[in-house]
Structure 1
Amino acid sequence: MSNPQKHKIQRQSDARRSAQLQDGGVTPHIFRAGLRSDANRRSVALPQAPARADVKPEDGKPGSEAASIKKDGPAPSPIDLTEQDVDVILDNKSHEDNETRLRVFEPGMWLNDDAIDVIIREFSARDIRFGRVSSTESTILQRSQSERIPAALRKRFRSLAVTDLWLMPVCDSGHWVLFVGHGMDTIDYFDSLLVNGYKTRMVAVVNDFLRCVWGTDVALPEPRTVMCHQQPNGFDCGLHVLRNADIVTRHPGSHHIIPLLPDELRAYYKDVYQRLL
């Protein structure tokens, strides 16, 4: 007898909801609103993105399942986040064309979360024992410890505790740093502007995230500062996050040389990013 769960058909309401989220380019602000929980989680409504006339249910045909949403305010009925919703939201796909996305690699420009997340995703894929937390994921969970998060989201990050190596880029006050964790045992801190004293604020972001995922009673290791190359200017921090992530995920026997000079480093990762678009 076949397992009915294995061949479970997605509900049209789920397909419609995910289509709305994907189509509207859901922001972390909207996701935070959807994650807020009271005693009864079903009482929370996720603000809806504006509907388009061509949003269709799963069968691809117009019908009563098509979206019907007011322009102002949330949907009339609460929305419960499913694993598919979480995937759609946290995927955080850019809606910009490639030419616009590549402009962040022009001289003097700061890298944005899209460029950093796309490239670090590639680095983490070098080994099945590696994991990652995107910049979107690391910031949307800054919340009160008394708040609960959906099981679908907790499940997404539970494996970090037993992952050989995980990467977590964090941005605060316009500065990017990288945390590299080894399961729940150790966490390393890479900062290309150590003299500016960002560590306390950055560690608070990481600890808030990990307590949301692993629980408030977990003893978190104190991140160790790793001496890494220091940037010579005020706008290359994102490039050094990529460089440090590149180094720690390479095979120990690799003799590949990664550029250090600012212009060469920028051109190097621009080429990597362009190939991944």
Structure 2
Amino acid sequence: MDKYLQIEINDVPADTKDQDEILESEFFDTRQAFLSLCQGNHYQYDTLRRAKHSSMMVLYHLHNPTAPAFVTTCNVCHLDIETGQGWRCETCPEYDVCNACYQKDGGVNHPHKLTNHPSVADRDAQSKEARQLRVTQLKKMLELLVHASQCRSSLCQYPNCRKVKGLFRHGMQCKVRASGGCVLCKKMWYLLQLHARACKESACNVPRCRDLKDHLKRLQQQSDSRRRAAVMEMMRQRAAEVAGGSE
């Protein structure tokens, strides 16, 4: 078994930079947000079949942030409304009716104006545009983070440079910290983590970059160790089953 752990790989490409765009989702910001998404849509991981379906749906919400996260129900007939087949009140945040109820004479007795749900094509276009906008904004923010960590000018005209420097100073002086609930510290900590995941500089000037990269490396090593241990245990069990069957 040890020979499988001693294989040396020499054909790793020189450029291992991740080319995928950085994705953001409010459902992955906190454990409670992800739990609410799973509970609201009955995503479960207790069986392989359910885990596959739940994982695919979670990926769908990650890549389509403007798509509704939860099933919409008609307030008249209480049936689920398919995408693009309903009407929503512009004033009441949770009032929706399906096309069938809307088209019935007198089926909808609502005092406010109702607008048609966007179609699948419209929603996909909105999702793509919103995702591109978020990626662009995030890239600019990370570039600003690197600039502010290197800038020494008190009169710098780089947009928002002084604001980020102010966040740096706040982080050094704050007694509450992100763990205590400080909103500014949480915002800065989030940006520092995003930067550390993508940073390849060995002598980066961004605060805590090296510490965060070391922390992420330890987490990856722990994950690899658990995965190797799980594979070894699975192989041991299979070997025991084969040995038991041959007796």
Superposition TM-score, scaled by structure 1 size: 0.21
Q: Which has the higher helix share?
A: 2
Q: Which has the higher strand share?
A: 1
Higher relative contact order (CA 8 A, sep 6+): 1
Superposition TM-score, scaled by structure 2 size: 0.22
